[in-house]
Each structure stands twice: as structure tokens, then as C-alpha cells.
Structure 1
């Protein structure tokens, strides 16, 4: 029979291997979801940023578009690398488990063969009868009869165990073969992605070289754009502070912290908005985040760093803008030589929609989730359609990207 100590060690090893495989499998699923999202984002980038002729876009816009693609491409390569490395670990784990299963299977077969030989030597019914009749008393005969039954049951059990282990080994070999094919596919995908990344980086390098002679002109444009963005930031902050003060005045209560004093209705709306973090619908039907939230250096002038309060969503020409949640239009602001901005209040939260060409609502209007409130402005000189989008809690700006559902 199988050595009990060895059997325990092998069983324990298989249990630990199984737990490790479950953990790796869960991580692989998460990586696959992330990979599919990145592929979808790349598809959106190609559809929204690279379908127009290059002549229709400014050089700066082209550089920004390529940069957006480069960032997604790098993430694709990172994820496929992680998947390939994880598959390598899974393959190694499975190979170890196959070795253990083969050892167990061989020992089961050896044990079974020994039983068959023993059964053959005493196979006649007469031997079994004589074994019973030679008992000194009834109790001994009964015990011998039980032993014969147990021995037959054990033979059957060993036969079934061999079948089970053989099936496990076959299944694991099939799984291993698939994992090796998957890994090879990932390696090939990575190879292609790296080639494409090299091409995109060279393209960006050529465009950067083409503007070096006019760097002063571009730097002036960038600084002007930054000044306009800073002015808009101040205006939005002013509007939010005034909205909070006016709302608190209506309740007859003051807030030393400058935050909303919420009515029961507003408190409920705030809680509903907050519970939808990561599930809010996008403000456009189709889009890709071209400009991220937070501090970023200028692509063309490293001396300029801007702290972006918005994300910038590239979308189709004439795209409609939709409210991301139920609320009330707090303000519609239009700066001199600027495009309209809509602020929608959701309890103690605000969603802000910037760079619009049309506005379909007015201050004080109640809006519902998904309701069209305007259209995105399309810039003919840059050749892009960009929606600026923000979220505030009271007067504190938040990164809106984690609030939006995955496209």
C-alpha cells in the first residue's frame, strides 16, 4: 500500500498548489478584464483621435493624441507582461502537480498490482471457503467474512482511485497545453505592441522636432491657454462658494467650514450620488479620456507644469452632453471669449461640464440621470472635440475618473 507519510506530504502539496492556482486564476481574471478595457480604450482612441486627416489638426493636438495612444499602449504591454509572467508561474505549478500525480498514480498501480497477485494466488472459491471453515469459532469466521468483503471493497476503491488520478492527470495535461498556447499568444501580442509603440514614439519625436524652431510661439500659446484655464478655475470656485452660501442662507444655518448645511432631501441625494462612485454614466455617449486629472508637465515645454482640475474627454463632433446624475442646475457660466460651462448640484456634490457649444437647460432646472443638457464644442483650429468634466464635494475638487463607470 502507499506509504502514509508520503501520501500526506503529496496531498498537502497538492492542496497548497490548488490554493495557489485559485489565487493566480483570480488575478488572471482581473488582468484579463483590465486588458479588455485597455483594448476597448485603444479602439476608442483610434476611432475618435485618428480618423480625421492630419492636416485638419494642429501639431500640438497631434502630439497630444499620439501621447494618449502611447500611454495606453504602455499599459497594454505592462498587462500582457504580467499575464505572461503569471502564466509562467501557473505552468510551473501545474508541472509540479503533474509530477506529484504521476508519483501517486504509479504507487496506486503498484499497490493494485500487488493486490491482484495476492488475489490470484488465493482466487479459488474453495480457498475462501476453507479460510472460513478453518475458523476456530463463529466469531472468528464472521471476522474473516468481513475481511474478505473489506478486501474486495478496497480492491474496487483502488481501481476507482486509479481512474480518478488518471483523469486528473489527463485534464491537467490539457490545461497545461492550453496555458502554453496562451502564453505564446501573449508573447506574440506583446511583440506586436512593442513594434507599434516604437513607431508611435518615433512619430512623436518627428513632430516634436518639427516645432522646435517655433517653440517660442507654441510656448506663448500654451501659457495663454494656462491663463484662461486658471481664470475659469477661479470663476468655478467663486460660483461654488456662492452657491453653498446661498443654500445655507435658505436653511437659516451657517457653516464655519464653508460646507453645505444639508436638508434631509439634499442629504439623501448626496448619499445616493456617493454610493454611485465608479458607476456614474459618462457625460457623452462615446469618448476617451485624453487629458488626465492632476499635475502634468507640458509635452512641448517642460518648464510649464499645470495642475489640471478636470479630465478632458475626446468625443465625436456634435456630441450631446448628458447629466451624470439627478440634480439641479446651479449655474450656467460663460466667460468672455469662452464657451459655456454648466454646474449641476447633487446635494453637497457638483458635476461640472465645460467647453460646450450649446446649452439645453437653464439655472434652477431639475435634471435626471442621462438627460441631454447641451453639446460639446468642436474646435476647428485644433481639429478636436473635447469635453472638460469635473466633480466637486462642497468646494473640494475630486478626480472624476474613478467616479465614472468603465466604458
Structure 2
């Protein structure tokens, strides 16, 4: 049994190590993936901060970039701490394995030492031959000879087990040292990130204090932006209202035409029925007069007008559309396809970040004021291409003072609206495809970046565009 200890040890250690590796592999890969993504986003925030710093004075863009960096770096530090916890677990496991292997190695060495001592004491060839030939019979001698042979083989295997166990122990010790070095590097990285985080927080506080000193200027900008947004909303709602009214008018005209055609058909059928009855009566009267020439025979009564047949029930009307803008099969299919792509629509710019969230929010500097966005504001490169997020038809291209060009694309009962465009490449009535360029982003000189606002409407109801776009 003792000679099986190293084999059992290896059989126990290998599955245990593999199981631990399999259990942790996915989590480790997720950590590494998150770490790379966070570092990428931090680099993007640094790029945005460098661009905004080119401005002559502090801006909301600088504050936003710094806050993004702080949030992302905090997540990165948490990610590193999770990695350190994994490494600590590996170190603890490796320490236990080293202790177990060392203990078993000591046992093997002690057993082998006993074998060596016994072999030394019985090293004489005469003793071995005497042991074999002192058997009572030939079979017993064969058994004794086989025993000696097995004993030598067992001693050889013991020596090999010691070497294998020693090799496994050395690998475990080497792995343990590697894990400790890895933990040391991770701790160093974590400390560096914390130092950078504190510097970012300090810079953010400085920018915030300088911006608070320009509160009156910021409030004036907020009020101007609100007025500009109201103008945009009035223009957009006017277009949507016009489209709805036009769709209703067309639907009413189609219904009136259908009823007029049905009424004319009914009149023609009625006149034809009456004419047939009159002709039948005249023919019958003539036949009767010829057959009954005697004056004593009165003429037969005229043919009674047949009772008009009851009209057959009209065919089952088509299913009622959810919205008047889905009155045609094409428009309905477009709406359904648009809805099916919720959360999977492409971004309208090749590279950019959300710098203005949808809905009502407290201002980043002036706490007593709230700002409301009817869509999401995307920061991108100056003059960047702005693309359609789905197939549709351009229903309006208008210029709104303070907001540049505004393009409305209709997708059934949905509208995607592109605001703050510097130039446009489409006109009303154009059919556009997903990814087709419709214009270029405007430039925010204060923050030194390009801007475009994306709005999505379902009929006249605003939607949160961030929920419709695919995650980056």
C-alpha cells in the first residue's frame, strides 16, 4: 500500500488542480476582458479630456471626462482587487499542495532509507544464495527467487517515486513563487491606479470650483439650450403631426372611395334588377294578349317585383392597425422590423460617447437647476459623418436656429431625428438605408468636439434612444 502513495497523490492532485482551473478559468477570462475594456474606455476618456483642454477655459466637457475617468478607474481598481483575490486563492492552494508533497516526500525518503539499510545489511551474494537454496523444495526456491526480484523492483520504483514527487514539488514551488510575483505586480498596479485616481479627483474638484465661479454664465447657457430645444421640439412635432394628419386624410379618402365604389355598384345592380323585371312583365303581357284574344278574358296580373335579395355580408375587414402611420403593409413591416431591432440598432456615428443622457437630470455644476434632453447627445469628432440607424424615408430637413440642421427619417410609425447637424446629404422624400450618410456633426467650440443629438419617437411619444442602440 505504501508504494502506491505517490501514485494516489498524483491522481488526487491533478484532478483537483484541473477542477480549480476549470472553475476559475471563465471568471479569470471575464476579469481580463473587463480589464481591457475598462482600460480602453479610460484611454477614450483621456483623449476626450485632452481635446477639451485645448479650449481656452474650463468646460462641462472637461468635468464630464474627469468624472468618467474617476468612475472607470474605480471600476478598474475593483477589477484588480478581484484578480488579487483569485491569486491569493491560488497561493493558498499551492501552499497546501507544497506541504502535502513535502510530507509525502519525507515519508518516501524514510521508507527508501529503510530499504537501503536492509539492502546494505544483506548485501552479500552468499546470503542471497543461501536464502534461495535453503528452501525445502524447488517451488519454494522459485518463490524466494521471485520475492528477491520483486523486492529489487520495488526499491527501484521507490527511487523513481521519490524523483517524481521531488519534481512535482519543485514545479509547485516554482508556480507558487510565480503567483507571489504576480500578486506583487498586481498590488503595485493597484497602488499606482489609486494614486492616479486621487490625482483625477483633485483635478475634477479644481475644474468644478472654477465652473461654479461661472455660474451665471452657465445658467445663461442652460436657458439658451432650453429655448433651442423647444424650437426643435416644435419643429419635430409639427412634422410628425403633419404626417399623421396626412396619413389620416389618405385613409379617409381611401375609405370614402371604397364606399363610393360600393354604392355605385349597388345602384347598378338595382337598376339592372328593375330593368329585368320590367322586361319580364312586358314579355309576359304580350304573350298573354296573343293567346287570349277574346275580350271576355281579362289580362293576367303583372309580374310582381321580386323582393330584393339581402346583401351578402361584407368580407372580414383587414385587421386594425395600431397606428394610422401603419396603414400600408410596407409601413407596418417597417415598424415591426424597427421594433425587432430594439437594442441592436447601430450608432449614428462611427466613434463617439454619450455626453448627454435622455430625460431629466440635475445639472453637473448648478445643482438647483435640472436639464432635460429629448434624446441622447453624442460627442464625436468634429465634422464626423452622421448615419441613418435604420431603413426609412426622409420626411423633413429643416434648419432650427441654435441647433443647425434637423433631419427626420420615418420608419413606419417610428421616427429617428438627427439634430445639430452641420451639413446634410439628403432631402425630403429620399429613401435611406441603414448606415447611409445623412449629414455631418456640428462643432462645439467650447468643448472642442463634434456633437449630434439623436431622438427616437413612436408616433408623437419620445423614446430613450440609448435603449434602442446596441451596446458598444
Structure 1 residue 71 and structure 2 residue 137: aligned?
no
Question: Which residue does the alignment assign to 2:225?
Answer: 225
Offset from partner CA, 1:159-199 (integer Å, 9 cap, x none): 32431332133123213202311321231132023213212
Asked if residue 170 in structure 1 is aligned to residue 234 in structure 2, the reply is no
Aligned residue among 339, 363, 376 for 2:441? 376
C-alpha separation between the residues in 1 aligned to 2:20 and 2:98? 15
The CA deviation string for residues 206-250 of structure 1, in whole angstroms up to 9 with x for no partner, is 221243xxx3x6535423422432453454356457657849959
Q: Work out the CA distance in 1 between the residues paired with 2:72 and 2:129.
A: 74
Instruction: Determine if contact 1:357/1:375 at 8 Å carries over to the other structure.
Output: yes
1:182 correspondence with 2:183: no
Q: For 2:43, which of 35, 40, 44 is the aligned residue?
A: 40
TM-score relative to the length of structure 2:
0.67
Residues 308-360 of structure 1: CA distance to partner in whole angstroms, max 9, x if unpaired? 232212233333322344x1233224255342222334566543321112111
Any idea what SS the aligned residue of 1:104 has? helix
Tell me if structure 1 keeps the 8 A contact 2:108–2:158: no
SS at match of 1:52: coil
Q: Does 1:400 align with 2:400?
A: no
Alpha-carbon spacing, 1:347–1:177, altered in 2? closer, same or farther (3 Å): farther
1:86 deviation in Å? 1.5
1:341 counterpart = 2:411: no
**d(CA) in 2 for partners of 1:329, 1:132:** 104
The secondary structure found in structure 1 opposite 2:364 is coil
Equivalent-residue separation in structure 2 for 1:51 and 1:230 (angstroms): 31
Secondary structure, in 3 states, of the residue corresponding to 2:383? coil
Quick one: distance in 2 between partners of 1:297 and 1:120? 84
Per the TM alignment, residue 109 of structure 1 is displaced from its structure 2 partner at its CA by 1.6
Report 1 or 2 for greater relative contact order, CA contacts < 8 Å, sequence distance ≥ 6. 1
Deviation at 1:72, TM superposition (A): 1.1
Q: Which moved more, 1:88-97 or 1:153-162?
A: 153-162
Pair 1:358 & 2:423 matched:
yes
Partner in structure 2 of residue 294 of structure 1: 359
User: Aligned-residue CA RMSD in angstroms?
Assistant: 4.4
Specify the SS of the correspondent of 2:404. Answer: coil
State which drifts further: 73-82 or 84-93. 84-93
Q: Distance in 2 between matches of 1:43 and 1:125?
A: 82
Matched residues in 2 for 1:125 and 1:364: separation? 110
Q: Take 2:396 and 2:157, find their aligned partners in 1: how far apart are those partners? A: 84
- Runs (5+) with no aligned partner, structure 2: 255-316
> Does the CA-based 8 Å contact 2:421-2:452 persist in structure 1?
yes
Correspondence 1:61-100 to 2 at 5 A: 62-100=58-96
TM-score with structure 1 setting the length: 0.76
1:77 offset after TM fit, Å? 2.8
Change (3 A) 1:137 1:350: farther
* C-alpha separation in 2, matches of 1:24 and 1:177: 21
- CA–CA separation in structure 2 for the residues paired with 1:195 and 1:218: 26
Following the alignment from structure 1 to structure 2, what is the Cα–Cα distance between the partners of residues 125 and 273?
94
Matches of residues 118-267 of structure 1 in structure 2 within 5 Å? 118-123=114-119, 136=140, 149=153, 152-153=156-157, 155-211=159-215, 215=216, 218-233=218-233, 235-236=235-236, 239-240=239-240, 246=247, 254-256=320-322, 260=326, 263=329, 267=333
The match for 1:314 is 379
Q: Is the 8 A contact 1:105 1:166 kept in 2?
A: no
Relative to structure 1, is the Cα distance of residues 52 and 258 closer, same or farther in structure 2, using a 3 angstrom cutoff?
A: same
**What is the distance in 2 between the residues matched to 1:131 and 1:332?**
111
For structure 1, which runs of at least 5 residues remain unmatched after alignment?
Answer: 55-61
Larger Rg: 2
